[in-house]
Structure 1
Amino acid sequence: MWTCIRWWGRGGHPLSAGILLLLIPPLLLALQLLVVGPRLPRAGRLGVEEQEGAVAFSVLSIEPVRDSRQRGSQSRLPRLDEEEEEEEQEVEDGRMREGERAYEDENEILSHQLGPRTLEVQPWAADQPSFTAELNRVVTYITRPQLNCSRVLSPGHTQASQPAADSPHWMLCAEDWLLPAGDASCVAYSFSMDGGDAEFIKTVSGLGCEVHSFDPSNSNASGRHLGNSLASNHGDGGVVSQHKMWLEWRAPRKRKHKTRGNLGSVSQTLADIMAALGHHTVHFLYADLLSAEWRVFQNWIESGTLQSVHHLVATVHLQWAGFEVGGTDEEVLRYWFSILQGLQASGLKLIHTSAGEGHSVLKQTVANAHSTYTLSWVNTRH
């Protein structure tokens, strides 16, 4: 460029010099594009091609996935462990994990259970809430056996026999397919605070079962010393261990792994007790929980623990709603019926009913109902 200027200054043609000056900027721009152009994003170099529709764009959503629980759901009873769901998760085969660390009991107690489930609320018995309709549905259900047993074990007897004409307080179904094999171990649990389980303990210990009796009011029992053979055993062939402990229905806020032989606190869930004692099956279970049975049943249903219980004898109390059970009388009765349906859905079939004394239901006198019923079930799914 300076050569051209000097040439024009020495008398060169002015028009030629002007043309050269006009050509220099385009040449510099072209040189810049040749050097920098390949480094530009492709979208920036397509120019007219983009306007002609030569390139198609896809828009990807980056919104976080919303939990399905935020959507509307059907009305249901609250799970007992909802407060703990943020701290730990229950794996569907029953094994539990905290964070990324997973563990399982040495006997894989929960591997044979169904996964956690939510108790299903049953529809109203009538078109609208009705005390009479709800009560009739509950009483009808608990007074109609669902399975007939040709051979039974009655209180205090270790030999199977045909059902007696007079109805016993409870019974165990002694069909071969429902009893442990002769060479198999047998485990029995009893939860009672009034000594009403004496005949049950005598029966199952006479069968040669390993028996565990739970009573928080028993000062002679110990939750730490396991497998202690008691003098009251009378050499009947079974081993009875007493524990100063009771059943819990609330899921602990921070569940800890229960090692075998370590029961920990005085109140534990059935699953934790079984894990601590090293049992994956309870063949016979007796429970008189003094109105705590409804919440305990709910825990067993929702946790899947019932899959490990073969025979269940339990007393239900109808005088009042029960521990931590609220609502109107109609709502309480519907809740009770939902529990009974949940037990059936878990595989339990009613084989016997024995009515107790009194005719008080939710503090009302009812002629066609009793205050308590002792119910005997067998699990047909084990």
Structure 2
Amino acid sequence: MRGLGSFFLRSGIPLLLIPPVLLVLQLLVLGSRLPGAERLWVGAEEQDGAVAFSVISIEPERSSIQGEAQSRRTGVEEEEEEEEEDGGMREGAPGYEDENEMHERQAGPRAVEVQLWAAEKPSFTTELDRFIMYITRPQLNCSRVLSPGQTQAALLPAASAHWLLCAEDWLLPAADGPCVAYSFSMGRGDADFLRTVSQLGCEVHSFDPSKSNASGSHLGNSLASNHGNGGGVIQHKMWLEWRAPKRRRHKTRGNLGSVSQTLADIMAALGHHTVNFLYADLLSAEWRVFQNWIEEGTLQNIHHLVATVHLQWAGFEVGGTDEEVLRFWFSVLRELQASGLKLVHSSAGEGHSVLKQTVANAYSSYTLSWVNTRH
């Protein structure tokens, strides 16, 4: 140390500068030995003898639909801690998670990834054009199809077909194997579908919470198989739920105990691993139901899906600006495709109202037919 001081004196450097210089030297020596030290220097460039650094942000963009979860998470955690201190769920507490909490915590096989905007800036017209183009262009051509009410495959669909099923041999259930069909619809809008799948020899279940009891059919919250029922349609006064139960209890086969359950729970109670044909007209609940199917991985067990999408308003528990809603709808349908479903037919409904706006190049609803090419 004395020798180093003599060096500074001989060099003409004031003694007051010795401590700062020594501190810098120590930092340089120790910094090179610290873990990750090399990463601190990545991106450095020498420019005219100086070293310049740039900071790159990798924070992903969050949509307003997804971003709501974080702002409400703190209160939910506090509520859960109170429940744990009380020894469980408080009496009278809701049996379902808040929708945003569910979307954040749910760990299904897939998560709905919100797609990028169709243009550089959000635009209702641009988002609508992309969405309509996506739902009106088939992704798979079927050489043989089944139209409403038909049991014999045809080479071409009827011009006015409301929906159709792809009747390629490799996409239909084996003649000697099981065949299961579900229909979720109110007001007998599924009559042709029920007739078609019944004549195909499927085990058919119809779900409608508004139906009254009918002769020759089973009605009620308890789900039971129709084996030995003579091939008739079993009716259930039940509807689809899209919120995951907050504390899921094991459901016994044949009894769900509620008029509203997720598709996964319904299938488990009926003892079905696969639904060969599913029809759904959910009256604007389809977007959250689709999201539930994606996140729970239920779609991989659905072979043919016929569903009506309603565009007059955002749908149950869907919020945001019109542009954000259109982008969310598009993102959900892209996830259907990523799960293996291919669009084979699109049929326009009536009216020209989309998110309460009158548009000339779109309709208020569309019935879409998909087939799962991965089963």
TM-score > 0.5 by shorter chain = yes
Give the counterpart of 1:247 among 221, 240, 249.
240
* 2:224 aligned partner: 226
Equivalent residue in structure 2 for 1:75, among 57, 62, 66? 62
* Residue among 212, 215, 224 paired with 2:208: 215
Letter in 2 for 1:374: T
Question: 112, 116, 119: which one pairs with 1:126?
Answer: 119
Instruction: Determine whether 1:381 maps to 2:374.
Output: yes
Give the conservation status (yes or no) of the 8 Å contact 1:228–1:242: no
Q: 1:116 aligns with which of 105, 109, 112?
A: 109
Aligned counterparts of 1:81 and 1:241: Cα–Cα separation in 2: 39
Gaps spanning 5+ residues in structure 2: where? 1-57, 81-106, 214-218
Identity %: 75
Superposition deviation, residue 223 in structure 1: 2.2
Alpha-carbon separation, structure 2, partners of 1:184 and 1:200: 20
1:176 corresponding residue in structure 2: 169
1:256-289 deviation per Cα after TM superposition (whole angstroms, max 9, x unaligned) = 1112111220100000000000000000000000
- Alpha-carbon distance, 1:148 to partner: 0.6
Equivalent position SS for 1:203: helix
Per-residue CA distance 1:47-66 (angstroms, 9 max, x = gap): xxxxxxxxxxxxxxxxxxxx
In 2: Cα distance, 1:334 partner to 1:283 partner = 30
CA-based RMSD: 2.7
Instruction: Supply the distance in 2 between the matched residues of 1:225 and 1:379 (Cα, whole angstroms).
Output: 26
SS in 1 for 2:294: helix
What's the counterpart of residue 32 of structure 2? none
Q: What are the superposed Cα offsets for residues 48-94 of structure 1, whole Å, 9 maximum, x if unpaired?
A: xxxxxxxxxxxxxxxxxxxxxxx96652654999989999xxxxxxx
8 A contact 1:79–1:118 mirrored in 2: no
Does residue 274 (structure 1) correspond to residue 261 (structure 2)? The answer is: no
Alignment of 1:178-193 (within 5 A): 178-193=171-186
Q: Match for residue 159 of structure 1?
A: 152
Using the size of structure 2 for normalisation, the TM-score is 0.71
> Which amino acid counterpart does residue 326 of structure 2 have in structure 1?
L
Q: Which amino acid aligns with 1:251?
A: A
How many residues are treated as equivalent by the alignment?
282
Kept after mapping to 2: 8 A contact 1:152/1:160: yes
Indicate if the aligned counterparts of 1:351 and 1:378 stay in contact, CA closer than 8 A. yes
Identify the match of residue 202 of structure 1 among 195, 199, 203: 195
Query: Which whole-Å CA distance do the structure 2 matches of 1:343 and 1:152 have between them?
Result: 21
Distance 1:270 1:80, change over 3 A: farther
Partner Cα distance (1:184, 1:80) in 2: 46
Q: 1:227 Cα deviation (Å)? A: 3.9
Determine the structure 2 residue equivalent to 1:136: 129
Task: Give the whole-Å Cα distance in 1 for the aligned partners of 2:207 and 2:246.
Answer: 23
- Among 351, 354, 364, the alignment partner of 1:358 is 351
Q: Is the 8 A contact 1:207 1:238 kept in 2?
A: no
Distance between the aligned counterparts of 2:143 and 2:185, measured in 1?
A: 28
User: Cα gap change, 1:301/1:373 in structure 2, threshold over 3 Å: closer, same or farther?
Assistant: same
What is the alpha-carbon distance in structure 1 between the residues aligned to residue 371 and residue 69 of structure 2? 27
Question: Quick check: 1:338 aligned with 2:306?
Answer: no
Amino acid paired to 1:205? S
Bigger Cα Rg: 1
Q: Check the 8 A contact 2:223/2:255 in 1, yes or no.
A: no
Q: Deviations over 1:8-38 (max 9, x none)?
A: xxxxxxxxxxxxxxxxxxxxxxxxxxxxxxx
Which SS does the other structure have where 1:354 is aligned? strand
Gap change, CA 1:145 and 1:213, over 3 Å in 2: same
Deviation of the 1:198 alpha carbon: 0.5
Give the structure 2 partner of residue 295 of structure 1.
288
The separation in 1 between residues aligned to 2:66 and 2:257, in whole angstroms, is 27
Task: Kindly indicate whether the alpha-carbon contact (under 8 Å) linking 2:314 and 2:355 is maintained by their aligned counterparts in 1.
Answer: yes
Offset, 1:219: 2.4
Aligned 8 A contact 1:227 1:240 in 2:
no
Instruction: Tell me the CA shift for residue 116 of structure 1.
Output: 2.4
SS at match of 2:323: helix
CA contact (8 A) 2:115 2:331 kept: yes
Alignment partners' CA distance in 1, 2:173 and 2:318: 36
- Whole-angstrom CA distance in 2 between matches of 1:338 and 1:224: 35
CA distance in 1, matches of 2:273, 2:68: 22
Q: Displacement, 1:168?
A: 0.1
Q: CA deviation at 1:240?
A: 1.4
Distance change (3 Å), C-alpha of 1:286 and 1:79:
farther
C-alpha contact (below 8 Å) 1:314/1:375 kept by paired residues: yes
Opposite residue 224 of structure 1, the aligned amino acid is S
Q: State the AA in 2 paired with 1:75.
A: R
Alpha-carbon distance between aligned partners in 2 of 1:226 and 1:79, rounded to the nearest angstrom: 41
Partner of 1:367: 360
Long gaps (5+) in structure 1? 1-70, 88-113
* Distance in 1 separating the partners of 2:352 and 2:207: 29
Structure 2 residue 249 is the aligned partner of structure 1 residue 264: no
Q: Is the 8 A contact 1:319 1:360 kept in 2?
A: yes
